[in-house]
Structure 1
Amino acid sequence: MKLTIFAATGGIGRLLVAQALDAGHEVTAVARRPEAVAPSPGRVVAADLATADPAALVPAVAGADAVLSALGGRSRRDTDVATRGTDAVVTAMRTAGVHRIVVVSAAPIGTVASPARPHPPRRDPGDGPLMRYVLGPAVRAALGGHYADLARMEDLLRASTLDWTIVRPPRLTDGPLTAAYRTAYGRNLRRGASVSRPDVAHYMLRCLDDPTSERQTVGIAR
């Protein structure tokens, strides 16, 4: 499969590149610092997704069977990079005639307001009492700008004609690849407080072969 991976030097992006190459996929990596992409897939495109011109991204996605994005803010001050970058990627995909995209979001986003969802559910059906009443509100208060950015990113994908999958992990860890994670469509996972970055990358690649994951938000957790 021909894959284009955005944010290829990030915590999940670099794992996507490594796992995709190990699986025999043909990879184009897109990163702000192309020299930092490792392992090198052979084709690396330099682009800063915070300011990217969609036309400049067309060569990176042209001919791809799917696009994977681990784009997100590098700090709490980056409160629009996911929205801007994903908008540019979606526009480039539309121009190039590419339809499949898988992106990383976050577990709390189902309850975060956005322009297209000004009145989201107050609780995710998969969240237990601790997450609903203690951890969830505390995390949303601390990362409000970052989560608002991800919520707008999700709006963009839902409004598009692409075959998207939005993966919503809870707290990310640097644990090992286990492939023993749980997933659920449209909700978080009960007692699912964390998941490793390698497992998230594994699912993002695995779902490319699962048409039932298209146009779905997917909760993932150990």
Structure 2
Amino acid sequence: MKLTIFGPTGLVGQQVLAQAIAAGHDTTAVARDPAKLGAQVHSAPNVRVVTADLSHADPALLKDSVDGADAVLSAIGPRKKAEHGIVSKSAMALAAAVESASVPRLLVVSGVGVSTVPTPGRPHPPKREPGAGLIMRYFATPVARRVLGAHFVDVALMEDFMRGCELDWTVMRVPYVMDRPPTGRYRTAYGHTLRAALRIAAADAAEFMLRLIDQPEASRKVVTVAY
């Protein structure tokens, strides 16, 4: 496949890029700081590296980055508090580029618990995430909302935007992401969350994200992955 990956320097993005390269996919890596990708990525024969900051990227550059791709995958997140807002902004920019270039699939990373966050489009969301279980309802999600604050709201806004988008999209929700070896064993849920969805290794999240590209049942759905 021909893939374009945004946010390839974060935990999940690094793994998505590494696994795409290992699988032999023709890959374009779009990063704000390409130096963080490492020499192995830059020297890979099937990788094109593009420098772009989606907070103020040129639409023509974005279209060129995704043109001809079979799927666009985004693991974009803020590196610091000043970048809160980049998740929803990047989703809008990517959707425009994907539509302009007629890319078949758009997949983005989200977070477990964001469905309980009020937004202008969903001013009265459920207080408890359906299917979450007691630990998620009364401990993990409230703590995440308190710690992540504005970033959690930004991710919720991104999900709102994706639901109203006419593209063939999939939102992959992840819990706390760990930098650990893959297990190859994890739980998934389509259209709802998981009980005790507390953690996932970046490598396992990336493996599942790449699998979602060819899953018709994931089309225009929010999907959760966790141990």
CA change 1:89–1:76 in 2 (3 A) is: same
> Residue deviations 1:130-184, cap 9 Å, x none?
2211232122022120011011111221111111111111111112112211100
User: Which of 163, 166, 187 is equivalent to 1:182?
Assistant: 187
Deviating above 3 A after TM superposition, structure 1's stretches of 4 or more consecutive aligned residues are: none
- Residues 51, 85 of structure 1: 8 Å contact kept: no
Identity across matched positions, percent: 47
Scaled by the length of structure 2, the TM-score of the pair is: 0.93
> Residue deviations 1:101-155, cap 9 Å, x none?
1110000111111222111111112212122112321220221200110111112
Scaled by the length of structure 1, the TM-score of the pair is: 0.95
Amino acid at match of 2:30: V
Q: 2:224 matched to 1:219?
A: yes
Give the Cα separation in 1 of the matches to 2:150 and 2:182: 30
Amino acid at match of 2:10: G
Name 1:104's counterpart in structure 2. 109
Q: 2:85 matched to 1:71?
A: no
Name 1:14's counterpart in structure 2. 14
Q: 2:210 matched to 1:198?
A: no
Name 1:29's counterpart in structure 2. 29
Name 2:137's counterpart in structure 1. 132
Give the Cα separation in 1 of the matches to 2:202 and 2:214: 20
- Residues 67, 100 of structure 1: 8 Å contact kept: yes
- Give the gaps of 5 or more residues in structure 1: none
Q: 3-state DSSP class of the match of 1:12?
A: helix
Amino acid at match of 2:78: G
RMSD across aligned positions (CA): 1.3
Amino acid at match of 1:30: V
- Give the gaps of 5 or more residues in structure 2: none
- Residues 30, 60 of structure 1: 8 Å contact kept: yes
